[in-house]
Structure 1
Amino acid sequence: MAFTFLQCFLLMRYVSVVLAHLPVPENVNVTSINLGVILEWDRPSYSLGKLTYTAEYRSSISRTFQTVCDNQTEHRCDFTHVIVPVGIFLFRVRAEQGQKTSRWVKTEQFFPDKHTIIGGPTVRLVSRDGNLEVDIRDPAMEGHKKLSDIYSSVGYNVRYWKEGEEDKATVMKDRQQNGLVLNQLEAWSRYCVQVQVFIELYKKTGEFSPVRCEATTSDGKVETWMIALILVVSFVVVSVTLPLLFLVAWYFYKGLKFFYPTDNLPENLKKYIMEPPHQYILKAMQNSSLQEEQYQEVSIISESPLVEEGPLCSNTEEQKGADQGVI
């Protein structure tokens, strides 16, 4: 009986201890791209009320955990600024609610240089002499200058294909140069290229770069007929454009001369134009003085003697003829 009572006491004690702890965070995972390190998790199941979280890490050269995120509500913690590329790291997180806490949930050992995902490089294509020149730039590493500072050997896998024929893509593996030339391509065709980083040490590949496409030419030379066509079209355009420009400039100049003449009008003419006509005429009449008419007496003298006899009309006609002769 005493033994049974002791078992019940211990069982109740165990249950009370267990119930004092919160459920642990779920789906704890480390995500790393280009040496950026993020610890992520989900809210524990069957949990009530508001929860906070604390996340810590420990390196291979340290025996104690260091807190990075404390009493936060987010379900993620950024460890990028405390991680170095080479080393072994361990992460853990727990849930909290007032004085109650859950157990720590630990991750597996994390090797930054081995486990990080390398993003796609930047690719630039240049069409020259019928070939495609491929220029590759390494992705930027978080907190570090160059990819070559972390890995002693960096290669590139290059795949290219004629646009619309991706299923026939050609793959060039582990190219050590940042630049290469794709030759033996069809003239006047578009080709697409993708590149991914390859790390020989871990036999790991990164993500592919976005697809880049560029058109080829015919050995970088322009056909003779095309040159002649360009010259003819250019001549026609110039022949039509220059006269039109000249006419436009001429009419524009004439318009400016009409609206903005360069010669100044005389002051009296300006005054005449500005003043109303009736006022000008009235002033002229007021300012002019009346001149006295000049005249002289005119006498008519006849050289022939007067005839006493004869009709009056005859004398009169003779006199008129004499007068006309004198005048």
Structure 2
Amino acid sequence: MTPKEENLPQCARKKLRFTLETSLDGHVRAELKHPKNLAMITLNTNYMLTWDWDQSSSESGAVNFTTQYVAKYKLTSKRLSKKKSPVWITACEKTWRRSCDLTKFSLYYLGIYVLRVQANVNGDVSAWEQKEFCPDTDADLGPPNKVDLSPAGSDLDVFISDPVTSTNISMKENHPELYYHVVYWERSAGQQAVGTQTLDSSANIVTLPNLKPWTWYCVRVQSRYDYYNKKSIFSSPHCMQTEGATPWWQIFMYFMASLVTTFLVILLPLYSCFRCYKTLKETWFPSVLLPTPIQYLWDSTGYDIPRLVSPESDSELLCDRVTVEPLLHILPPEAVPAPLSCLEPDSRHSRQDSSGSGDSGVYSTGGSSGLRQPNTSHSSTLAEVFDLVQVKIQDMAPGLKAQHVNVDEGIVDMCV
């Protein structure tokens, strides 16, 4: 016992001894001050404990802090009577920050907790500073998580998303009577609020009635819970223009836009395909045919590729022997000339076979069994017949010409 403790009264010495026994490590200095002004910064289920500290108390060294918590019901007299000290849960240990985040410990929303903070300087610790905390009553309520607007004719639909906890669960799980306070106004040309109106609703979709068509309106929403008089801050303003009856010029513009879109999406690709097909067809199958001479040479040679014929091969490719059979004309009786008493020495006679049948083609109608010998006029008539055959052949084939005609043999040499 120190000399100071000897001079103290007995009750004061007992109180000092009790303080030494309940300290964290058994070493406490009266001059080391404890943290002050413990406060909670909360939003839905996000909790942050903060405190103040007198910097002059830690001039001799660096300071760090330890934060603990425990459920309040564990500190009741019934448990203390059994001489069982409560188990404090350390949330932050020896941290230099003047705050401690308790969100990750998922404190029960309807529970009551006792929080305490202690300072530590060079192994010397201060007394604990305590604070009670109940999330249901002390935690602040946050604004809607999201607010969207959608036109509904001349009205506006407001889509409100519930505020959420740290685990993305709706706050309506903790506050079933939560509702929304909607404030909306008409936005003027100078960005000024005109005719502010309010609306309360617990639904997540709210329709703002009696709005002017083709007018800009702005909306902001606040979360409220009346049991503990909780009110959140307002959400940021969202603005949108209402709609109305569609004018005729706008309908016409939509129609023209649809036509242009249809042309670009459907007709233009079809037209491009048609042009490509036509170009390929004209390239590989042209409508302009080859000239007649070249076409003739192509067909006569039998080759796929046209070529010119050399002059040396004209007689071989285009000349051939043509056999001409003489035509026999049966003359009527009156056309047969009278027989001559004698024949000219150089006249040519028709050939007869051994059977005595005539081959001259002239027959008698007087009933005589003998054959008449051809005379000069008969030979001239036969020459005229061959001339007629030659003329008919030239009519049938203008490109052919007879080089030599042998009447007796009936053979004609023909060339182009």
The one-letter code of the counterpart of 1:165 is: Q
1:62 corresponds to 2:74: yes
Which of 205, 209, 218 in structure 1 is aligned with 2:231?
205
Q: What SS does the corresponding residue of 2:254 show, helix, strand or coil?
A: helix
Which of 159, 175, 178 in structure 1 is aligned with 2:183?
159
The one-letter code of the counterpart of 1:77 is: C
- C-alpha separation between the residues in 1 aligned to 2:276 and 2:52? 76
Identity of aligned residues (%): 27
The one-letter code of the counterpart of 2:94 is: N
Which residue does 2:195 correspond to in 1? 168
Deviation at 1:159?
A: 0.6
Which of 31, 38, 45 in structure 1 is aligned with 2:41?
31
Which residue does 2:412 correspond to in 1? none
Name which structure has the greater RCO, CA cutoff 8 Å, separation 6+: 1
Deviation at 1:216?
A: 1.1
Which residue does 2:364 correspond to in 1? none
Q: Is the radius of gyration larger for structure 1 or structure 2?
A: 2
Cα deviation 1:9-55 (Å, max 9, x = unaligned): 659x99xx995542322442111111221111244220222111111
Deviates further, 131-140 or 55-64 = 55-64
User: Closer, same or farther in 2 for the Cα pair 1:33/1:9, shift >3 Å?
Assistant: same
Deviation at 1:251?
A: 8.2
Backbone CA RMSD of aligned residues = 3.7
Q: Does the 8 Å contact 2:28/2:125 carry over to 1? A: no
- C-alpha separation between the residues in 2 aligned to 1:83 and 1:27? 22
Cα deviation 1:118-149 (Å, max 9, x = unaligned): 11112121112221111211111124733222
Q: Does the 8 Å contact 2:28/2:126 carry over to 1? A: no
How do residues 278-289 of structure 1 correspond to structure 2 at under 5 angstroms? none
How do residues 93-104 of structure 1 correspond to structure 2 at under 5 angstroms? 93-104=117-128
- C-alpha separation between the residues in 1 aligned to 2:260 and 2:175? 60
Deviation at 1:92?
A: 1.5
- C-alpha separation between the residues in 2 aligned to 1:105 and 1:195? 39
Q: Does the 8 Å contact 1:199/1:205 carry over to 2? A: yes
User: Closer, same or farther in 2 for the Cα pair 1:95/1:226, shift >3 Å?
Assistant: same
User: Closer, same or farther in 2 for the Cα pair 1:254/1:53, shift >3 Å?
Assistant: farther
Which residue does 2:163 correspond to in 1? 139
Q: What SS does the corresponding residue of 1:214 show, helix, strand or coil?
A: strand
User: Closer, same or farther in 2 for the Cα pair 1:235/1:26, shift >3 Å?
Assistant: same
How do residues 261-276 of structure 1 correspond to structure 2 at under 5 angstroms? none
Which residue does 1:186 correspond to in 2? 212
Gapped regions of structure 1 (runs ≥ 5): 262-327
The TM-score normalised by the length of structure 1 is 0.64
The one-letter code of the counterpart of 1:35 is: T
The one-letter code of the counterpart of 1:60 is: K
Q: Does the 8 Å contact 2:222/2:235 carry over to 1? A: yes
The TM-score normalised by the length of structure 2 is 0.51
- C-alpha separation between the residues in 1 aligned to 2:263 and 2:166? 60
Q: What SS does the corresponding residue of 2:74 show, helix, strand or coil?
A: coil
Deviation at 1:194?
A: 1.1
Deviation at 1:167?
A: 5.7
- C-alpha separation between the residues in 1 aligned to 2:175 and 2:229? 12
How do residues 225-236 of structure 1 correspond to structure 2 at under 5 angstroms? 225-232=249-256, 234-235=258-259
1:224 corresponds to 2:234: no
- C-alpha separation between the residues in 1 aligned to 2:255 and 2:278? 35
Which of 116, 124, 138 in structure 1 is aligned with 2:139?
116
1:41 corresponds to 2:51: yes
Gapped regions of structure 2 (runs ≥ 5): 17-26, 76-85, 285-416
The one-letter code of the counterpart of 2:199 is: M
Q: Does the 8 Å contact 1:117/1:207 carry over to 2? A: no
